[in-house]
Amino acid sequence: MLVAAFSLLVPACTSGGVTAATTTSTKRAAVLAPLPRAVPVALSAYYRQQLDWRDCVGPGFQCATMRAPLDYAKPEAGDVRLAVARRKATGPGERLGSLLVNPGGPGGSAVEYLESYAALGYPQAVRARYDMVAVDPRGVARSEPVECLTGPGMDTYTQTDPTPDDEAEADALVGSFRQFAKGCEARSARLLGHVSTVEAARDMDVLRALLGDERLTYVGASYGTFLGATYAGLFPGRVGRLVLDGAMDPSLSARRLNEDQTAGFETAFQSFAKDCVRQADCPLGGRGTTPGRVGENLKAFFRRLDEKPLATGDPDGRELGESLATVGVIAAMYDEAAWPELRQALNQAVEDEDGAGLLALSDSYYERDPDGRYSNLMYANAAVNCLDLPAAFSGPEQVEKALPAFEKASPVFGRGLAWAALSCTYWPVKATGAPQRIEAKGASPIVVVGTTRDPATPYPWARALASQLSSGRLLTYEGDGHTAYGRGSDCIDSAINTYLLRGTPPAEGKRCAQR
């Protein structure tokens, strides 16, 4: 898990900020699931609360606010309020219950994902049988969001040189990490110790009960797979149909996760490079140029930007330096459909010395709007990641020693991603989590999906999670991009839809070729 001047475990699919406009209220007694015997008396009030659903956003959408204990070990310490949204099953056919969705991050808004895509873009057969439901995890978007920096402060942070060449530049990078952490502590001290994945998973169990479901049905993407697997480990007997798409391996340390992810981005870039040189507009090499040479050409471009940033026409005066350009390229690795846009942006930068295209890609990644405001995606990303695992490195000296391994994993991105892994070192709250295998013994079959050239959640992670889960079933997509469900593969979609609708998991070892 990585948080820094560029943060990697971002949502598999997010949307622009949609503001919920509350109108009418729908008050009625909730049909609650039976209270599990394992629920402590001190938590029963949370499991027995009633959600006050209100019409919001658009036709068919309802929103509510649920309460959860800020600290599950001390419920008397106060509450955290979580934003919940749903779109009820459209029929026909028997209702199968609620389908909870999470797009990843950590820090992606599940509510906005539901509103912008899941509730309307999931297959009609699934939407007909399930109430589509989302909850923004604690610290995210509409659920008491973690805040850290002002817009201008975040602009400065995202432009910090990610590959220091000397001690002064290394000090500047460390200073940016410290400033980020201090901002989070100053603005969000109450929350920082209580936004872990374990707590978010416990919140999901409260919501499951409030929705009237005895078992949780869930589709989680990217980091959402770690959230779903954590739920399964905590509550294996309450697992219904779980799809974990773009899986993470919970048994790995922060150092190993960062190094593996660095290799994942190199794999994705190699695939982009092979495609790029076949196109007439590839600015990094013509037909016959090897992927290695394409990578060298991109590194040379980054070095030029480090020395002399490009103008962008940005009204706030931002130029395109190495940091923003790197993020712009990384952003396009998540979806092969973005490769033409990346080629165009690189051409604009290389040929016309105009950084506007790469800046736009970077802004979309950071969720920065034209007015200079950032969503809280990166703030929540840092808060959750730094709480879930001890920091990858203890200081710059360890980063220096690790550089050869990271640069071997990715000649293009390795140096910057090694330094990025230093960010949690200066976090104001001690990590409460640790690497662990999750077996979830006794759980119903859980479908784990892996994409062979996934940049952010490398395919070996999916294999590892599926083997750890006692009931894990691996579904493989042989292709590019981050995650697989709903991205154009009829083979993948059919297998997952069958599982969600009938409860039948894919055959052991099922593989789907690239579309």
**pLDDT tens digits for 193-218?**
999 999 999 999 999 999 999 999 99
Residue 167 makes CB contacts below 8 A (sequence gap 6+) with none
Residue type, 308: K
Q: Is the pLDDT of residue 398 over 70?
A: yes
Q: What's the pLDDT tens digit per position in 401-447?
A: 999 999 999 999 999 999 999 999 999 999 999 999 999 999 999 99
Question: What is the structure's pLDDT at 284?
Answer: 96
Q: What's the pLDDT tens digit per position in 123-132?
A: 999 999 999 9
- Backbone phi and psi for residue 226, each to the nearest 5 degrees, phi listed first: -65, -40
Q: CA–CA separation, 412 vs 262, rounded Å? A: 9
Q: Is the pLDDT of residue 33 over 80?
A: no
Question: What is the structure's pLDDT at 32?
Answer: 61
Residue 26 makes CB contacts below 8 A (sequence gap 6+) with 52, 53, 54, 55, 62
The H-or-E segment that residue 68 falls in is strand 61-69
Question: What is the structure's pLDDT at 515?
Answer: 73
The tokens for 364 are 């979309």
Question: What is the structure's pLDDT at 59?
Answer: 81
CB 222 within 8 A of CB 335: no
Percent of the chain past pLDDT 70, that is, above it, reads: 93
Residue 126 makes CB contacts below 8 A (sequence gap 6+) with 99, 497, 500, 501
Question: What is the structure's pLDDT at 34?
Answer: 60
Question: What is the structure's pLDDT at 79?
Answer: 97
Concatenated DSSP letters of 362-380 = HHHHHTB-TTS-B-SHHHH
Q: What's the pLDDT tens digit per position in 358-385?
A: 999 999 999 999 999 999 999 999 999 9
> Exposed, middle or buried: residue 56 (CB in 10 Å: 0-12, 13-18, 19+)?
buried
The tokens for 420 are 């990025």
Q: What is the mean pLDDT of the chain?
A: 93
Residue 227 three-state SS: helix
Q: How confident is the model at residue 31 (pLDDT cuts 50, 70, 90)?
A: low
CB 127 within 8 A of CB 89: yes
Domains along the sequence of the chain with CATH: 29-145+196-251+436-513 (3.40.50.1820), 153-192+255-426 (no CATH)
pTM: 0.93
Q: Which of 222, 271, 323, 423 is catalytic?
A: 222
| Pairing mode of beta strands 239-245, 97-102 | unpaired
Residue 130 makes CB contacts below 8 A (sequence gap 6+) with 89, 95, 96, 97, 98, 99, 217, 500
Q: Is the pLDDT of residue 11 over 70?
A: no
Question: What is the structure's pLDDT at 35?
Answer: 62
Q: Is the pLDDT of residue 26 over 90?
A: no
Q: How confident is the model at residue 119 (pLDDT cuts 50, 70, 90)?
A: confident
Residue in this structure with the two tokens 């995650």, named with its chain if needed: 483
Q: What is the DSSP letter of 32?
A: P
Q: List the one residue out of 403, 409, 473 whose CA is nearest residue 445.
A: 473
- Integer angstrom CA distances of residue 383 from 86, 344, 430, 457, 491: 26, 35, 11, 20, 37
More confident residue, 19 or 98: 98
Q: Is 482 a catalytic residue?
A: yes
Q: Which of 363, 454, 480, 493 is catalytic?
A: 454
Percent of the chain past pLDDT 90, that is, above it, reads: 89
Q: CA–CA separation, 56 vs 278, rounded Å? A: 47
Q: Is 454 a catalytic residue?
A: yes
Residue 279 three-state SS: coil
Question: What is the structure's pLDDT at 57?
Answer: 74
Q: What's the pLDDT tens digit per position in 217-263?
A: 999 999 999 999 999 999 999 999 999 999 999 999 999 999 999 99
Q: CA–CA separation, 184 vs 289, rounded Å? A: 45
